[in-house]
Structure 1
Amino acid sequence: MTIGITCYPTFGGSGVVATELGKALARRGHTVHFIAYALPLRLEHMVENVFFHEVRVNTYPLFEYPPYALALASKMIDVAQHEGLDLLHVHYAIPHATSAVLARDILRSKGIDIPVVTTLHGTDITLVGKDPGFKPVVEHAIDTSDGVTAVSDWLRRETFDSFDVTSEIEVIPNFVDTERFTRQPKDHFKRAVAPDGERLIAHVSNFRKVKRAVDAVEVFARLHAAGAWPREHARHGEPGGVKLLMVGDGPDRAAAESKAREAGVWNEVRFIGKQEPVEEILSIADLFLMPSASETFGLAALEAMACGVPIVSSDVGGLPEVNIEGETGFLRPVGDLEGMTQAAQTIMTQPDLHARMAAAARAVAVDRYDIDTIVPRYEELYARVMAPAAPVA
C-alpha cells in the first residue's frame, strides 16, 4: 500500500506514534508519505520507502491568520494525485481529519477514491474538540471518516460521551518497539549522572502544566527527606542514595527547577532537556514518575515499562489500562503527593517487589503493546476501508 500520514511533528505522543507507525509500515514493505508543516522529530534519519512533503502556507494581507487547514488539504490532494496514495491516515481531528475529509471529497470529484482513517489521540477530543466553535466540525470529521480509531478504551468512551457521533470507533492502542526499548547496558551513562551509584527516578514529559512536573519534583523531595532507603544504596552518608532525572522541556520547567531549589534537592535533580534516544535514559532508571492531570494513554509510561521500569502514576484517563495497579506499579489520584510518595517508597525499599514489578512491566509491554502486535491491526483496518462496498441486494 501507499499511505499518506499527517501528524503534528512534535515531541507529543501523537506525533511519536504516527512517526513510528509510518517507519514500521515502511519496514513491512509499504510506501509512506508524511504530509506536515515540518519533518517529524523521530524521522531525523533517512528511512527506505518513507518520504516527506512539507506543507507551506502562503501569507496574504487578506488573511489575519494563515489558512493552514486549507493548505494542508491542497497538499494532500497534490500528493495523492502524484504519488498514487491508496489512503490517508491522519492523527488528530483538528485540523487533520477535517483537511483530509475535504481533500477526499475533492479527489472523488476528480474520479479518485482515497479513504480516510482518523486516529483520535486525546486533546483533540478532551480539550480542543469540546470548544463550541469546533465541536460540530469535529463531529463531522469523525462521522465522515472511513475508519476511526482511538488509542485507549477510555478515549473511545469519552468521544461517545462528548460528541454526537455514530461512527464505529475501534480501539488500537499505542505501541512500543520492545527491541529498541529494553534494558541496555549503559554503565558509562549511569556513572555520568549517578557517580556515587545512586538509584535513579525518571520523569519524561513536555513540561506542560497538565504533566505536573512540579509534582514529580515534590514527590522526590519528600522521598529524599524521608531518607528511608536500604543502607546498601546510600553513598558517602547521603540520606537518599537516589537522584531524579527530569527529561524534556517546556513551560513548567522553570517552576520545576524553582521547586527543586526551594525543597533543597537541587543537587540531587538533573534537568537534562529533550533527549533522543530516550530509551538510553529509561534503561538506567529504577522508577518512573507520571503524576499527570490528564493522559489519554500514557506512552511515556509504556516506554519505561518496556525498559523494565516500575511506574508510579496518577489514575486518570487511559493510564489504568497501561499501568496495572499492584502489578506493574501503583496508581494514585491526581495531586495525591503523599500517596505517590508512599507508593514510590514502597517500590524502592522492597527489592523483591521492585524486581517483580520490573519483570511484569516488561512482560505487559511485550505481550500487549509490542509494535509487531499492534501495527498489523492498522494494516487490517486499511484493508477493510479500501475494500469496495458490497452491492446492496
Structure 2
Amino acid sequence: MKIGITCYPTYGGSGVVATELGIELAASGHEVHFITYSQPFRLTGREEGIFYHEVPVSNYPLFDFPPYSLALASRMCDVADYYKLDLLHVHYAIPHAISAFLAREMLAKRGLHIPIVTTLHGTDITLVGADQSYLPITRFGIEESDGVTAISEYLKRRTLEEFRVQAEIAVIPNFVNCDVYEPLKPEVREAARARFAPANEPLLVHLSNFRPVKRAPDAVLIFAEIVKHTPAHLLLIGDGPDRSVVEWLAKRHKIQDRVHFLGKQNSVSELLPLADLMLMPSELESFGLASLEAMACRVPAIATNVGGIPELIDHGINGLLYEVGDVESMAKGALDLLESPARLDAMATAARQTAQTRFCAHKIIPLYEKFYDDVLERAGKPAARS
C-alpha cells in the first residue's frame, strides 16, 4: 500500500505518533510518503520505504501570512498523483484535513480518487477546533474525510458532543514499540543513570513540549516537595514556552543542582528507562503518550485524572492519578512509592505489562491497516498489498 502522511513535524504527541506510525508501516512493507513543511524530527532520513516531500511556501508581499494550507494541498495533490498513492492519512484536523480535501478535489479533476483518513489527536478538537473561528471548518474537514479515527474514547466522545458530526469515528489508541521502549539491563541502566543521580537517590522524569496545558511548572513543584523529604533528581526532557518559568522555579526552590534540563531529545527511549517515576501533571491529555512510553520502559506515572489518561492508567495498579493542580497529593503519592520499593516494583511491572498487552505497535498497526482497507473498499479502490 502507498500511504501519504501529513503531520506537524515538530516536538509534540501528534507528530510523534504520525512519525512512528509511518516507521512501523514501512517496516511492515508499505511505502510511506511524509508530506510536511520539514522532516519529522524522529526520522533519520535513512529508513527503508519512507520518503519525505517538503512543502515549499512562497512568501509574497501581498500575504501577511504565508498560505501554508494551500501550499500543502497543492503538494499533496502532486505527490499523490506522481507516486500513485492509495490514500492520504492526515494527523490533526486543522489545517491538514482541509488541505487533504482540496487535494482530493483537485485529483478528482484529473480522474483520480484518493481517500482521506483523518486522525484526531486532542487539541485540534479541545482547543483549536473548539474555537468558534475554526469550529465550522473543523467540522467540515471531519465530515468530508473518508475515515476518521480518534486516539481515545474520551476524544471520540468529546468530538461527537462538541461538533455534532455525523461521521463515524473509530478509536485506535496511541502505541509504542515495545522492543525500542523497554527496560535496560541493570548494569547498563546503572552506568547511564550515574550521569544524573547516585545509585541510592531516586530519579524522576518529565517529558513534554512545555506548553501551558502540560503544566511543567507543577512537575518542578512536585519535585520540590519530594526533595524536602528525600534526596532525588529530576530529568526534564523537551522544550517550549514554559521552560523559563520552570527554570525560575527550580532556582526559587534552590533545587537547580538537582534538576537536569535535557531539551529536545530524539532518543527518549534511552532516557526514560533511567527513571523511577514519570511526572505528568497535565491540565488535559487526550491519551498520554509520554506516560505510555515511560510505562513501556517499566516506569509508572504520577498523572492527572483527566481526558483519556484513565483509559491508560489504572490508579493504584500501574500508576497513580490525582486532580489537576494537586501538587501536594502527587508529591505524597510519589514519596509513598519511593519509600516502598516492593510496591514500586509491582507497579513498574504492571506498567510494562499494560504497554505490552494493550498498546504495543504490533497490536495497533494492524488496526490501522484494517481501517485503511475498509476505507479503500468503501471508496471502491482496493489497494495492492506490498
Q: Which TM-score tier does this pair reach, normalised by the shorter chain?
A: over 0.9
Residue of structure 2 in register with 1:374 after alignment: 364
Structure 1 residue aligned with 2:331, among 333, 341, 351? 341
| C-alpha distance in 1 between matches for 2:352 and 2:378 | 41
The alpha carbon displacement at 1:389 in A equals 5.5
Please give the secondary structure, in 2, of the residue aligned with 1:316: coil
CA contact 2:41–2:266 (8 Å) conserved in 1: no
The alpha carbon displacement at 1:388 in A equals 4.6
Structure 2 residue aligned with 1:202, among 202, 205, 212? 205
The alpha carbon displacement at 1:270 in A equals 1.3
Q: What is the number of equivalent residue pairs in this alignment?
A: 377
Residue of structure 1 in register with 2:150 after alignment: 150
Residue of structure 1 in register with 2:348 after alignment: 358
CA contact 2:281–2:304 (8 Å) conserved in 1: yes
Q: 1:389 to 1:46 in 2, by over 3 A?
A: closer
Structure 2 residue aligned with 1:385, among 371, 375, 383? 375
Structure 1 residue aligned with 2:235, among 245, 249, 254? 245
Residue of structure 2 in register with 1:294 after alignment: 284
2:194 equivalent to 1:220: no
| C-alpha distance in 2 between matches for 1:263 and 1:60 | 49
Structure 1-normalised TM-score?
A: 0.94
> 1:126-275, aligned counterparts within 5 Å?
126-184=126-184, 185-195=188-198, 197-225=200-228, 227=229, 240-275=230-265
2:306 equivalent to 1:303: no
| C-alpha distance in 1 between matches for 2:298 and 2:83 | 42
Which 4+ stretches in 1 moved above 2 angstroms? 185-188
| C-alpha distance in 2 between matches for 1:304 and 1:334 | 20
CA RMSD between the two structures: 1.2
Question: What is the letter of the counterpart of residue 270 of structure 2?
Answer: E
Residue of structure 2 in register with 1:276 after alignment: 266
Question: What is the letter of the counterpart of residue 250 of structure 1?
Answer: G
Residue of structure 2 in register with 1:98 after alignment: 98
Question: What is the letter of the counterpart of residue 137 of structure 1?
Answer: I
Tell me whether 355-364 or 131-140 shows the greater mean CA deviation.
131-140
Please give the secondary structure, in 1, of the residue aligned with 2:11: coil
Unpaired runs of at least 5, structure 2: 381-386
| C-alpha distance in 2 between matches for 1:100 and 1:275 | 30
Please give the secondary structure, in 1, of the residue aligned with 2:194: helix
Structure 2-normalised TM-score?
A: 0.96
Instruction: Percent identity, please.
Output: 52
- 1:168-222 per-residue CA deviation (whole Å, 9 max, x = no partner) reads 0000000000010001133332111114642201111111111111111111111
CA contact 2:87–2:114 (8 Å) conserved in 1: yes
| C-alpha distance in 2 between matches for 1:39 and 1:45 | 8
Unpaired runs of at least 5, structure 1: 228-239
- 1:350-373 per-residue CA deviation (whole Å, 9 max, x = no partner) reads 111101100000000000000000
> 1:293-332, aligned counterparts within 5 Å?
293-332=283-322
Question: What is the letter of the counterpart of residue 204 of structure 1?
Answer: L
